[in-house]
Structures are given as structure tokens and as C-alpha cells.
Amino acid sequence: MVQLTFSAARPEPPVLYAREELTRYLTRMLAGATAAIEVELDVQPPPHPAPGWDAALDDWFHVQARPGRIAVTGSNARSVLLGAYRLLHHLGCRFLMPGRRHEAVPALRPEDLRADLQEAAACRHRGVCIEGADSLENILDFIDWLPKIGCNSFFVQHLEPEAFLQNWYAHKYNPLLAPAPRSEAELQRMYRQIDAAIARRGLLHHRAGHGWTCKAIGFEHVCAKLPAPTGAQRPLLAEVDGRREFWQGVPSNTNLCYSNPAARRAFVQSVADYAGAHPEVDYLHVWLADEYNNICECDACRRTTLSDQYVGLLNEIDAELTRRGLGTRIAFLLYQELLWPPEHAVLEHPERFTLMFAPISRTFERSYADHGALPPLPAFRRNRIRLPETVEENLAFLRAWQERCRVDAFVYDYPLGRAHYGDLGYCAIARVIAQDIGALPELGLNGYCSCQELRAALPNAWPNYVMGRMLWDRTLDPQALQEEYFTALYGPGAAEARDALERLSALSSADYFNGIGPRQDAALAARFRRAADAAEVLRALAAEKQTLCTDLHKIAWQLLDYHAGYCRLMVEALAALAQGEENRAQQQWNAVMDHIRRHEMEFQPYLDVYRVLEVATKYTGFTLDMPR
Ligand SMILES: [Zn+2]
């Protein structure tokens, strides 16, 4: 019988949740033993806070355990929960993927309950932003997983996460599943469950992003296709090629005429109204339209730059929030046109703002850590910009902004947003993530938010795992972590699984899948053909291993078996594409689409079929067989 007694628990929800979680896991780990454990959970500042320490944002804990007693002190309520999970990790628990069936929870003897861990997070910002097609369960499982791997924030993109939920429930791009779109009332219930899951863990709640341009012209949410603006909307829109229209018919991709005072006022009021109505949001993201080379060309707008107009808007928002007594933090975006720093405008109250550097077009075959000399910035040419690709080009923009604007900053990065589909072993992309995190201090960045598919676990969730663990502790050795992860997930065959996946990584290309580089490349075609053999090796290995194990290891090996079959089809398609054999490439690609659609429900938490299809047919060069 195991009895946990909690002394004078603090009332904050994350502390109460830490109590539930400790009870749940320790009861299971100590099952069959007799133990009475006194537990004290408390919130106290760290004894030696680092310069610039913020009690609400920065995480520190001291965890002490000996037989019969546990004490977890955190610098805030969330830190207590983080400390509780750190203790469980120390005692042998491994949280390997989202979803509780993917956890390794060992047995524990009462006399082995010992720990003394005093740690502070290496980075302030450690989180993930939602993308893709996600069921409510996928989202809740991911939020549940974040603090278990050391993360502290979740970003709900858009004003509500409608698009991501509907992508799943409507089974976008999978005609083999019957669409079941949810009603507005059902969606509202889901939104509130997501908010509650974030609050319960005390995660920093990031919200919105694109969509303010829509709200400013009167739409309630981010708005998809519409034929034409109304007479009242038209003058607020950017003038491009002499016309003020929705950009390619999509309001959320349409910029406003930011020199129009009515447009500015509507934009500022929309942000301030939302901030006032949503005190649960810690970081409100204020971004412009989600496209580029479509900014206003009117005479007034031509006299300045988009970034100067943007900083002006941010200052107006700051003033309005201050007037309303709102302390909401604002995150602003360096992306597309906004990569060019303002020429004149400066943030009047930088303490309200966090800079978010979003190098969406970067390579993922090199890390920030490998960067060479930074080139001069290219001249800003209105509606004729080219997005930077190399690590150096991207970092040059960040450096230029930082020279003008000293604020809290993090990188919003995309390794698991598109490029990961090109790394068929997930080992290369995980290495880039680990190296990038190591380079953050040198770049003046205090963290990392991964804009990504939540169903990104085929072949496994090693890239996300290394991300979370290293954002907490940058001194961890990625190779030792990889061994920890693979051993826990695959058991005795871990080294063979690693070798097979490393081989697939070496023979595939994250950049090619992501549309970077020439589409015809004979050397790459040859590499993809060799990857087919590597996939066969993996298939044979997985077929053997899955019969020898049970539980979590069996799930992991079955997943590798499925992955090997998927890789086999995918590399045939990629080899034909890179060889320039268009018909054969499309034929092979059709086989990939058919295969993953047929198996989507079996492997739902691991592979986002909608998103693979979206990326492969927008960036890689394959064709989608149905309307978008
Ligand atoms: Zn204009």
C-alpha cells in the first residue's frame, strides 16, 4: 500500500496538478510495496536568480527526495510541475511521445526514492506552435507531453484553432475517411478544453499571429476564400498593381494599407479588444498578412517601409493597452518583408515586446552553429523580395534588427513544420535541432518555439524529445540523449534501430522535400535509390523485432515496420522526381498517397497525412489528385 500525504498544498492549479501527477506515477511505480511518503510542494524564488530573472516566465526548481519524503520547490507554480516531472525522469520514467501509452514507467523500491536536483532552465522560451490537422485528443496529448520533456509554452495559432481541428475532422485530403466537420458549438467546447489544459499546467499561453488584418476589416476569425471586398472594406486594403482586392481571394493573406488611419485604428482596436477579453493569454502575437510581395503600393505607403509601419502599429497598440491598463505581452514577427529592419521607427516601450525571428525559408541541412560570415542585407525592393535561404542570409537580418532593438527574443523555427518529411530517419533533423539550440545564446536568442505538426512521430518523436530536453539543459550530450531515447523506446534492439534510421537520414534530404534546390538532381536521385535498400533493411529488422517484444517496444517496432513501407514507396517517388521522370514520379507519388490514406486511422497519432500531402504538392513538386 502506497500512501502520499501532501502538506499545506499551494492553491495554484499547476501545483495541484503536480500533486495529482506525482500520486498517479508513484503509486504505479511503487505498486506492491508498502510506503508512506510525505510530499511538500512549494513556490519560492531561486536563491541566486540570474540577471533579468522574471519570476512568472523563468523556471527553476529544487527537488529533494529520500525514502518517505519528497520536497519540490519551484520558482513559480509551473516550475513545481516541471520539477515533479524531472523527479519522475530521474527515477527512470521516460516520456517518449505524446500520449500516455508512449511512456516507460519502471517499478521503484521505496528505498530507492532519492534525488537532489537544483536546476534552472537554459532558455526562457521553450514551446511548440500548432500546425497541421489535429483531433482534440492529438492537441491535448501534446499539451500534456510538453512539461514532461521540459517545455513551458504552447502556442494556439489564430484567434481560435478552428482550421487545425477542421483539417482533421473534415479529413482534408483523405477521401477514404468520411468527413465529420464539427459544429460551431462543438468547436467552442474544444477550444475551451484546450485553454483549460494549458492553464492547468501553467504553460505560457501564446495566441493568434496572423488574422488581425482580417479582424480589422470586420471578420470574426481568420477567413478563407471570398470573392471580393465590400465597399467599406476596399479602401482599407493594400493597393497592389493598382487594385485593392483580397490577395488571391484570401482575406487572411491580404495586407492592409497601413498608412490609412482608419485601417490602423481598426487594427489597433482589434488587438486591444482581444487582449482585454483574454487575460489568459500571456503572449499575444501581432503579425501581418501571411504572404509576401503583396504590400501596399500607394503613394503614402511607398514613402516608408513595411517594418517602419509595423513598428508604428506596435507602438500604437502598446499605447492603447496601457490606456486600458492591460499588461499583455506582445510578440512581433521577423518574417518575409519584416526581415528588413525599420529605417526610422523604434519601439517606445520595448519591455512589452518580444521579438520572434522566423526564418521560414532556411535550410535544415545546416545549423546556426555552423554559420560563416554574415553577408550584407540585400536592398529592400517593394513587392520584389526574394526570401533568404542560407543560414547566413537569415542571421544577417536578425543581427540587423538586434542592432536597432534590444528586446527579449526567441526563434520561431520550422524543422518539424515541413522539412522533417524529407529526413526519413529523423536523425539528421534532430541533430540540427540540437546544434541550433546550442547556438541560441551566441545569437542573442532566449529560446525556441517550434512551429510544427503535432502528429510528427514517424518514425519516432526523437526530434521533439531532444528539442525539449536541450532547451531545458543545453549542456546535455545529444548523443547520450539519443541513446537514452532509443533504449527506452526500442529496448534491446535500440542500436540496430538507430543505425537503420541514421542510414535513412544519410540517404534522404530535408531540403529537397522542402522545395530548396533544383528539382532535377542525378546525384540525389541515386541517393534516393540507395535509400530504398536501407528501407528494406529496416523492414526486415522491424519484422523480426516486433515479434520478440511487448507493450511500448512493440508499438515502437510496429511503427518502424510501417515507416519502412512508407519510406520504400516515398523514395521511389523522390528518385523518379529527381531523375526528371515526371510521369513515373507522379505514378509513384500516387502510390504513396494511396498507402498513407488507407492506413491513416491505424497510425493517426504519428503521421499527419493532410500535411505530408500539402507539403509534397506545394513544395516538393508532386501533384495533388484533388482540389485544395
Ligand atoms: Zn497604402
Q: Any bridge partners for residue 35, and if so which?
A: 2
Tally of CA atoms within 13 A in the half-sphere of 35 that contains its CB: 25
| Alpha carbon of 220 to ligand 1 centroid (Å) | 23
The letter for the amino acid at 586 is Q
| Alpha carbon of 297 to ligand 1 centroid (Å) | 6
| Contact (CB, 8 A) for 541 and 493 | yes
Q: What one-character-per-residue DSSP string does 232-295 give? A: TTGGGBPPBTTB---GGG-GGGPPB-TT-HHHHHHHHHHHHHHHHH-TT-SEEEE---S-SS--
**Residue-level pLDDT at 103:** 98
Determine the Cα–Cα distance for residues 104 and 466; give it in Å rounded to an integer: 17
| Contact (CB, 8 A) for 217 and 178 | no
**Residue-level pLDDT at 223:** 65
| Alpha carbon of 294 to ligand 1 centroid (Å) | 11
Q: What is the pLDDT of residues 38-74, one digit of tens each?
A: 999 999 999 999 999 999 999 999 999 999 999 999 9
| Alpha carbon of 333 to ligand 1 centroid (Å) | 20
**Residue-level pLDDT at 112:** 98
Structural domains of the chain, ranges and CATH numbers in brackets: 2-120 (3.30.379.10)
Low-confidence residues of the chain: pLDDT under 70: 222-224
Q: What is the pLDDT of residues 381-422, one digit of tens each?
A: 999 999 998 999 999 999 999 999 999 999 999 999 999 999
| Alpha carbon of 301 to ligand 1 centroid (Å) | 4
| Alpha carbon of 306 to ligand 1 centroid (Å) | 10
| Alpha carbon of 317 to ligand 1 centroid (Å) | 19
- What percentage of the chain exceeds 70 in pLDDT? 99
**Residue-level pLDDT at 226:** 83
Determine the Cα–Cα distance for residues 86 and 64; give it in Å rounded to an integer: 11
**Residue-level pLDDT at 222:** 65
Determine the Cα–Cα distance for residues 396 and 372; give it in Å rounded to an integer: 11
| Alpha carbon of 316 to ligand 1 centroid (Å) | 18
Q: How many CB atoms lie within 10 A of CB 79?
A: 31
| Alpha carbon of 236 to ligand 1 centroid (Å) | 8
Q: Any idea of the CA torsion for 148, 459, 483, 26, to the nearest 10 degrees?
A: 30
| Alpha carbon of 30 to ligand 1 centroid (Å) | 67
| Contact (CB, 8 A) for 289 and 258 | no
